[in-house]
Amino acid sequence: MSEEREMITGIEVPIYLKYHFTAGEATARFLSQVRQGKLVGQRCPSCNNVYLPPRGSCAACGVATTEEVEVADKCTVESFTIVYIPIPGNPIQPPYVIANLIPDGANISFIHLLSECDNDTVHRGQRVQAVWKPQEEWDYAMDNIRYFKPLDEPDVPSESIGKVPVTGWEV
């Protein structure tokens, strides 16, 4: 006797994993400062690269970084991608822009969300600034910054991005 069977291509299985993240000294200090609304990187004593967030050492030189450098919440877009595919569990609905941003005073990028922008006009060298959550919601997390939004400032020339920290900013 033949039986017609429905083809099953996938099932949903709710699995939850609870992690205890050990931040380490550099990241713990960084997150403590983010909780106070400050972005503080570390400068390499050998090549002068300023890392944000700091990892406690320079990836290029392999030496410890200890000098702290407070950087601005204004950044330059180094690169970006427009996300069109929804990610399960992510409350942000596509399309949205994820960018590598280099903060003024640093020259290594970090990843964050861009918003309040026309996705089709986002470009390398564009100037952006953080939009922070209300202070009472600040925690030990980079999502104290909701997203970055475009600034009405001239673009940074492509050849200068990440080469020379943008100066003249005030925290």
Which residues here bind Zn ion, judged by CB under 5 A? 44, 46-47, 58, 60-61
Closest distance between Zn ion and the C-beta of residue 159, in Å?
21
Taking the C-alpha atoms of residue 48 and residue 99, their distance in angstroms, rounded to an integer, is 24
Query: Among residues 38, 42, 40, which one has the least CA distance to residue 132?
Result: 38
41 token code pair: 């990187």
CB of 165 closer than 8 Å to CB of 107? yes
Closest distance between Zn ion and the C-beta of residue 46, in Å?
4
> Which of 42/76 has CB closer to Zn ion?
42
> Which of 47/64 has CB closer to Zn ion?
47
Closest distance between Zn ion and the C-beta of residue 54, in Å?
12
CA dist 13 → 19, 57, 110, 119 (Å): 19, 40, 33, 34
- Amino acid identity for residue 158 in this structure: S
Closest distance between Zn ion and the C-beta of residue 152, in Å?
34
> Which of 28/60 has CB closer to Zn ion?
60
Q: Around Cβ 121, how many Cβ atoms within 10 Å?
A: 8
> Which of 26/128 has CB closer to Zn ion?
26
